[in-house]
Amino acid sequence: MADDSLHILLVEDNPGDILSLQRSVRRVAPDTEISVARDAEAAIHQLAEQPQGTFGLLLLDINLPRMSGIELLRRLKSESWLSNTPMLLLTTSEAPFDVRNGYASGADGYLVKPFDPEGYDRLVRFLVNTWNGHILEDTGDYRGLVIAPPAA
């Protein structure tokens, strides 16, 4: 992996979602590295064990065992050494309450899990393109994946 390529920490307990994202990363962005934590405690441990700045992006599922992704998000955002690391929620919920709560808790983005391989490929393209600072000319390509913060 190149020094400037993306390293994602995926915090997800669903094996199918993990596998789908890993497959899409291999297809769409093979220079991207993805590490997995199956719950909040494992994520906290991985972040503590790795050198600061190892992960360029955190993807957090909302529905995790023991500690929710929202609780994990709040905890991680309170850590000064992680405060500049982008943290996105990746979930099946499009419920307005979850979207508002996610952004109010400090999420840098809210993404809806796709239901098919093509959707995961679009998701990976979105993550890598935005990570690399590319202007997203056809935002319609990401419709249904990205939910903007609610109006104040």
DSSP per position, 13-42: --HHHHHHHHHHHHHH-TT-EEEEESSHHH
pLDDT, average across residues 86-107: 94
Asked if the model's pLDDT at residue 141 lies above 50, the reply is: yes
Asked if the model's pLDDT at residue 146 lies above 90, the reply is: no
Strand partners, 59: 10, 88
CB within 8 A of 54, min separation 6: which ones? Answer: 7
Asked if the model's pLDDT at residue 4 lies above 80, the reply is: no
- Buried b / exposed e across 114-128, counting CB within 10 Å, b at 16+? beeeebbbbbbbbbb
pLDDT, average across residues 86-114: 93
Domains of the chain, each with CATH number or no CATH = 7-142 (3.40.50.2300)
For the ranges 55-69, 112-126, 132-146, the lowest mean pLDDT is seen at 132-146
Q: What is the pTM of this model?
A: 0.90
Give the per-residue pLDDT at 1. 43
pLDDT, average across residues 42-51: 95
pLDDT, average across residues 43-68: 94
pLDDT > 90 in the chain, percent: 70
In this structure, are residues 11 and 43 in contact, taking their beta carbons and an 8 Å threshold?
yes
Mind listing the pLDDT tens digit for each residue in 71-85? Answer: 999 999 998 888 789
Strand-pair category, 7-11 with 33-37: parallel
Q: Of 134 and 38, which is predicted with more confidence?
A: 38
User: Which token pair is 26?
Assistant: 């291999």
CA distances from 77 to 88, 105, 151 (A): 11, 8, 22
pLDDT, average across residues 24-41: 96
Give the angle 32-58-62 at the CA atoms, nearest 5°: 130
